């Protein structure tokens, strides 16, 4: 008897039709439009929350650094605020002859300060400034550290954090100084290494953007950079 199995209709062996493929593509596009923005927003929120925590840790570290009377370059009994690497124990204390802080006040994970005085963490650049003799903020670079004015550094410091990529790693730019008040702005478009916020961006009181020798932080008003800064609670 002849084999008739090969003559049976292949009813279940066809591929997707063009219409079915279009439906699948449309469903994937809809899901991507919903899930991708939610993922980005979640990542941005997580980054910004971590940035706030880092700024608070640095503020506490600065308060303790000064209270511990660790640096007094000019020997006048007015102790100075520190650099990030001094507080992590990653470099010698100014004027100490080579002594390093131990135990450290900040974790070594913050010790990656580059040649421009910045470090990268949670999708943000961070930069600490101490004042020179004119009250201008100088970064934690070799040239900047050499320009720090001891008497000015007894009273002032600022720190800024801004996103590496706008909208991608973060939306807000953050500012803090010796007052311990954190403020943020979503104006200015600060991001990356080319659009960097000035040292005194979040200050008021006739401050210019480069000066940090002021106490008043811009809370709900325009700062020295012309953008409105809002409090972080």
Are residues 216 and 178 in contact, defined by beta-carbon separation less than 8 angstroms?
no
In a domain, 61, yes or no: yes
- pLDDT tens-digit map of 158-209: 999 999 998 889 999 999 999 999 999 999 999 999 999 999 999 998 779 9
In a domain, 7, yes or no: no
In a domain, 54, yes or no: yes
Are residues 58 and 159 in contact, defined by beta-carbon separation less than 8 angstroms?
yes
pTM for this structure? 0.83
- pLDDT tens-digit map of 110-133: 999 999 999 999 999 999 999 999
Please give the structure tokens belonging to residue 62.
Answer: 């600065």
| In the predicted structure, residue 4 carries a pLDDT above the cut 60 | no
Are residues 90 and 108 in contact, defined by beta-carbon separation less than 8 angstroms?
yes
In a domain, 208, yes or no: yes
| In the predicted structure, residue 95 carries a pLDDT above the cut 70 | yes
* Exposed / middle / buried, residue 110 (Cβ in 10 Å: 0-12, 13-18, 19+): buried
- The counts of H helices and E strands in the chain are 4, 8
In a domain, 140, yes or no: yes
- Domain of 184, in residue numbers: 16-231
| In the predicted structure, residue 36 carries a pLDDT above the cut 70 | no
In a domain, 41, yes or no: yes
Give, in degrees to the nearest 5, the angle at Cα 109 between 108 and 113: 90
In the chain, the number of structural domains is 1
Q: What's CA 12's distance to the chain center, in Å?
A: 58
In a domain, 4, yes or no: no
In a domain, 1, yes or no: no
């Amino acid at each position: 008897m002849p084999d008739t199995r090969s003559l049976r209709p292949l009813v279940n062996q066809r591929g997707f039709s063009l219409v079915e493929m279009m439906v699948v593509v449309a469903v994937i596009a809809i899901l991507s439009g919903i899930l991708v923005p939610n993922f980005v927003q979640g990542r941005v929120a997580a980054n910004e929350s971590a940035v706030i925590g880092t700024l608070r840790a640095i503020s506490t570290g600065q308060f303790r650094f000064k209270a511990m009377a660790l640096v007094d370059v000019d020997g006048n009994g007015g102790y100075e605020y520190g650099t990030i690497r001094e507080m992590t124990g990653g470099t010698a204390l100014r004027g100490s002859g080579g002594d390093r802080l131990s135990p450290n006040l900040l974790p070594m994970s913050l010790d990656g300060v580059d040649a421009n005085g910045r470090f990268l963490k949670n999708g943000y650049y961070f930069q600490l400034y101490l004042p020179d003799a004119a009250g201008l903020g100088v970064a934690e670079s070799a040239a900047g550290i050499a320009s720090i004015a001891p008497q000015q550094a007894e009273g002032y410091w600022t720190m800024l954090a801004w996103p590496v990529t706008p909208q991608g790693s973060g939306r807000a730019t953050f500012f803090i100084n010796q007052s311990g008040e954190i403020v943020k702005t979503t104006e200015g478009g600060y991001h990356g290494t080319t659009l960097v916020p000035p040292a005194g961006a979040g200050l008021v009181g006739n401050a210019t953007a480069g000066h940090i020798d002021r106490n008043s932080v811009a809370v709900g008003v325009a700062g020295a950079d012309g953008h409105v800064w809002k409090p972080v609670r």
